[in-house]
Amino acid sequence: MTPYKLKILNGVLKLKSFADVVLNIFGIKDLGTQTGNVNDGLIDWSIQHLTKTTAQWNADTTTILLKGQLGIEDTVNTSFKLKIGNGTNLWSALSYVGGGAGGSQDLQSVTDLGSTTTNAINTGGVTSDYLQLDTTATNTNAVGKVVWNDTLGTGEIGLKGGNINAKLAQDLYARVVNKTTQNLLRANYQAVKVQSAQGQRLAVNFAQANNDLNSADTIGIVAENINNNQEGFVITVGQIENLDTTGTLQGETWTDGDVIYLSPTTAGSLTNIKPDGSTGHIVVIGYVEYAHQNNGKIYVKIMNGWELSELHDCYISSLSNNQILTYESSTDLWKNKSVATALGYTPENIANKGVANGYAPLESDSKIDAAYLPSYVSDVLEYANLAAFPVTGASNKIYVALDTNKVYRWSGSVYIEVSANSGVWGAITGTITNQTDLVSYVKGYSLQMICTSSINLADNQNYFIGSIQTVPFTTDTNTRLICPKSGTIKSVVFSSRQTFGSGESSTLALGVNGSYTNISTSILFNSNPLNNSLITGLSRSVNAGDYITLRLQTPAWVTNPIAVSINCIIYIE
């Protein structure tokens, strides 16, 4: 065997004595002069590769393997690791061939070396810092395949069935079971709600905005054809495209930007007409991104309106007509209550104001207009003295001079005293029984009972009023008014002035010689400053010398009247 010099230049191996023998060794260049042997025309050659221990390689900060040059790491454990140089990086930056275990190359090794092929890599798992999609490539998607969609600006993944390419970070889908008893078509893009569950999937039926039961659980719209009782996808958030979004399917006209609602009239259908509560529940399905008969687009985003009873600070129970919502501070809740419960009292119905069986309105002076009073009711007006009376009086009113406590009526031209104990009637001749004109004119007389001071009335108390006295007494011993002439008691006028007082009624009884008969059960001491009651239709016989007393029985008031002054007139024929 004769040794020969050989040299490898730029990947070409040349024998020094056999210049015509050329061997192309790819991946090896500029390794310097090596030796080889020729036996029977064959070249038996060997190349000494660069070999270092692990510690030596780790400490080496200068050696850069040439592109294609093989480096060997001796682990001092009868095993070796290989790296292939790239002409640029130090040993520490290169990857081991076969993952450093001497086997076939792993994905890391391939990517470090670079790939010029488009062959698929089949592996049980890939761990990487990130996944970079080629944003310039044009690929057709398929089930389980992720590609870049530059138009949408995101990656897409093909979902099961091959009908849907879900846009990453833009679309959300739910796989459901069709329980509508119909085959669902993507072209109809109907809205569905959760009805139950089947086969570990949500089971859906048509949604409709006609009530809370049919609308509250609306989940999305059909994204692919789904046969009855079969599984398929509905889109819950995101864009669905290639539809007729002109509104033709719904009998409407849709335009770009329209808000789309769940229909209250047709199960599963959509509408661009917003329900107003009286026509249906408000459930926003999404928005028309592009109104087109073939390439239309809808952005789906379900927003279900809340029922009043679903608000966290509302408590609704036992609903009935004409209730109102009112805030209750003790529970920090809004609750439904009747108007009377909410206000604390029952308000009058304004429709009953000034009508039969209703109530009389008050004038600007807080008094009831005479049109709403019976014709026999007269006002009792009090003035400081006679001089303070109006220049022209009214025939249906009684006037009281407070300085003398005398009572007057208006004759049409002058005030005539009706409370005098005596009067001048002109010349009288003969006996009193002969004065037929006087007897026919004076049919009766009146007796006045006056309390000169005011009193605060107590609950459930009897008060007695007789002749002139300071205040009503609680017994009738000192309140007797002596009847001067026999006759029949026909009417009583009971007047009072007071401050405050609720509207409970008191009872007034007429007593003759200590025998009492109730003559009114509706004597009031309310917030009106002056109350008058004319009690007619009486027929109580009295004789001269009988004593007459009025007994007032008070109720249990909510608000007791105070500073009460009482004045009474008894008319006897």
Q: What are phi and psi of 166, to 5 degrees?
A: -80, 130
CB neighbours (10 Å) of residue 44? 10
Considering the chain, what is the average pLDDT of its residues? 81
Q: Which residue has the higher pLDDT, 444 or 247?
A: 247
State pLDDT tens for residues 141-178: 888 888 888 887 888 888 888 888 888 878 899 999 99
Give backbone dihedrals phi and psi of 388, rounded to 5 degrees, phi first.
-85, -5
Residue with more model confidence, 439 or 510: 510
Residue 94: Cβ within 10 Å count: 21
- Asked if pLDDT for residue 430 goes beyond 60, the answer is no
**% of the chain surpassing 70 pLDDT:** 80
Higher pLDDT: 9 or 185? It is 185
Residues in contact with 329: Cβ distance below 8 Å, sequence separation at least 6, in sequence order: none
pLDDT given for residue 1 in this prediction: 38
SS3 389: coil
In tens, the pLDDT along 113-126 reads 555 455 555 556 66
Edge-to-edge strand ranges of the sheet holding 42-45 = 22-24, 12-15, 2-9, 32-39, 42-45
pLDDT value at position 433?
Answer: 55
For residue 114, what are the CA distances in angstroms to 86, 110, 118, 126, 139? 10, 6, 12, 17, 21
Residue with token string 């009090």: 382
In which element (H, E) is residue 58 found? helix 54-59
Question: Using CA atoms, how far apart are residues 392 and 410, in angstroms rounded to an integer?
Answer: 8
Of the pLDDT bands very low, low, confident and very high (cuts 50, 70, 90), residue 529 is confident
- How far apart CA 549 and CA 572 sit, in angstroms, is 14
Please, which pLDDT band fits residue 542 given cuts at 50, 70 and 90? very high
Mean per-residue pLDDT, 311-330: 87
pLDDT of amino acid 98 = 65
Look at 185 and 73; give whichever has higher pLDDT: 185
Asked if residue 76 has pLDDT above 50, the reply is: yes
β-pair type (146-149, 314-315): unpaired
Determine the Cα–Cα distance for residues 25 and 557; give it in Å rounded to an integer.
122
Which helix (H) or strand (E) segment holds residue 191: the answer is: strand 191-198
Q: Sorting pLDDT into bands at 50, 70 and 90, what band is 230?
A: very high
> Would you call 380 exposed, middle or buried from its count of C-beta atoms within 10 A (0-12, 13-18, 19+)?
buried
Question: Is residue 436 within a helix (H) or strand (E), and if so which, with residue range?
Answer: helix 436-441
- How many other CB atoms are found less than 10 A from the CB of residue 448? 18
Of 276-290, 369-383, 513-527, least confident by mean pLDDT is 369-383
Percent of the chain with pLDDT over 90: 31
The amino acid present at 558, given as its one-letter code, is V
| Among candidate residues 324, 185, 350, 333, the one with its CA nearest the CA of residue 268 | 185
pLDDT-derived band at 18 (thresholds 50, 70, 90) equals very low
CA 466 – CA 449 distance, rounded (Å): 5
Is the pLDDT reported for residue 229 higher than 70?
Answer: yes
Name the pairing type of β-strands 445-450 and 562-572. Answer: antiparallel
In this prediction, residue 442 carries a pLDDT of 60
Residue 426: the pLDDT is: 54
Classify residue 372 by its DSSP letter: G
Cβ of 216: how many Cβ atoms within 10 Å?
17
The answer, yes or no, to whether residue 5 has pLDDT greater than 80, is: no
The mean per-residue pLDDT over the stretch 327-355 comes to 87
pLDDT band for 34, please (50, 70, 90 cuts): very low
Antiparallel, parallel or unpaired: β 146-149 and 270-271:
unpaired
Which 3 state secondary structure label does DSSP give 86?
coil
